[in-house]
A = this chain, B = another copy of it.
Amino acid sequence: MTPASGVHAHHHHAETPGAGRRWKRHAQQTVRDAGLRAGGGRAAVIEVLSGEECVLTAQEVLDRVTRKGGPGGNLATVYRALDTLHALRLVTRLDAGDGTARYERAMPGGEHHHHVLFPGGEIRPFHDDDLEAAIHALAERLGVELTGHDIVLHAARPTTD
A residues whose Cβ falls under 8 Å from a Cβ of B: 8-10, 93, 95, 97, 99, 101, 116, 126, 128, 130-131, 134-135, 137-139, 141-161
Q: A149-B153, A151-B149 are in contact. Are A143 and B130 (CB under 8 A)?
A: no
Query: Is the CB–CB distance between B145 and A157 below 8 Å?
Result: yes
Q: What residue of chain B has the Cβ atom nearest to residue A155's Cβ?
A: B144
Query: Is the CB–CB distance between A150 and B147 below 8 Å?
Result: no
Q: Report which residue of A9, A95, A144, A156 has the largest number of chain B beta carbons within 10 angstroms of its beta carbon.
A: A144
C-alpha spacing A37/B147, complex, angstroms: 46
Query: Is the CB–CB distance between B153 and A146 below 8 Å?
Result: yes
Name the distance in Å between A113's Cβ and chain B's nearest Cβ.
12
